[in-house]
Amino acid sequence: MRTVIQFIILLGLASALGPLTSTFVTAQEGSGPEVGINYQYVHTNAPPGGCGCFSMNGGTAWFAYKSKRSLAAVAELSTESSSNVDGLGDGLTITSYLFGPRYSLRKVGRFVPFGQFLLGGAHASGSFAPGNGGYPGSSNAFALAAGAGLNISLSRRLSVRAFQADYYLTHFSNGVNDHQNNLRIGAGLVIRLSKG
Residue 16, Cβ neighbours under 10 Å: how many? 10
pLDDT at residue 164 tops 60: yes
Q: Give the confidence band of 1 by pLDDT, cuts at 50, 70, 90.
A: very low
Q: pLDDT tens digit string along 51-80?
A: 668 899 999 999 999 887 789 999 999 999
Fold of 2-18+30-192: Porin (2.40.160)
Higher-confidence position of 124 and 23? 124
Residue 104's pLDDT band (cuts 50, 70, 90): very high
**Residue type for position 121:** G
Cα(103)–Cα(56) distance, rounded to whole angstroms? 27
Q: Residue 2: what pLDDT?
A: 45
Q: Which residue has the higher pLDDT, 28 or 178?
A: 178
Listed in sequence order, the residues at least 6 apart from 140 whose beta carbon sits closer than 8 Å to its beta carbon are: 121, 122, 123, 124
Spatial CB neighbours of 164, under 8 Å, sequence gap ≥ 6: 38, 147, 148, 149, 150, 184, 185, 186, 187, 188
Average pLDDT across the chain, whole number: 81
Task: Compute the distance between CA of residue 183 and CA of residue 1 in angstroms, rounded to an integer.
Answer: 20
- The residue with greater pLDDT, 133 or 34, is 34
Per-residue pLDDT, 52: 67
